[in-house]
Amino acid sequence: QVREQQKYISSQIRQRVKQRRAEKLHQLEEALRAEWQKAQEEKMKALEKLFLSSLRAVGEGHRQAKENVSKQLNVIVIEVLDVLEVLRLPVSWFVYCFVCVCF
C-alpha cells in the first residue's frame, strides 16, 4: 500500500510539473505575442509617419513648381508688355498673335 501511495504521489507531482510547464509556456507565448503585436504597431506608425511626410513633400514640390511657373509667366508677360510698349503696339495685337499661334 505504501508503494502505491508513492506511485500516486509521484504521479501527482509529475502532473503538477507538467501543468506548470504548460502554464509557463502559455504565459511566454502570450508575452511574446503581445511584444510582437506592439512591435508591429510601432512599425505601422513609423510607416504612416513616413508616408504622410512623403505626401507633404510631394505637395510642397507641386506647390513650388506651380509658384515657379506663375513667376516665370509673370516675367514673360511683363517682358511682352515692355516690347509692345517699345514697338507702340496695342495689347490686342499680341492677344491676336498669341491666339493664332496657339490655336
How many angstroms separate the CA atoms of 70 and 14, rounded?
83
Task: Tell me the whole-structure pTM to 2 decimals.
Answer: 0.53
The string of pLDDT tens digits covering residues 21-76 is 999 999 999 999 999 999 999 999 999 999 888 888 888 888 888 888 888 888 88
Max distance between CA atoms of the chain, in angstroms, equals 129
How many angstroms separate the CA atoms of 95 and 102, rounded?
10
Q: Contact at 8 Å (CB) between 81 and 91?
A: yes
- The domain spans of the chain are 1-102
| DSSP conformation class of 13 | H
**Residues 6+ away with beta carbon under 8 Å from 84:** 90, 91, 93, 94
Instruction: Inform me whether the pLDDT recorded for 97 exceeds 90.
Output: no
The string of pLDDT tens digits covering residues 4-33 is 899 999 999 999 999 999 999 999 999 999
How many angstroms separate the CA atoms of 59 and 15, rounded?
65
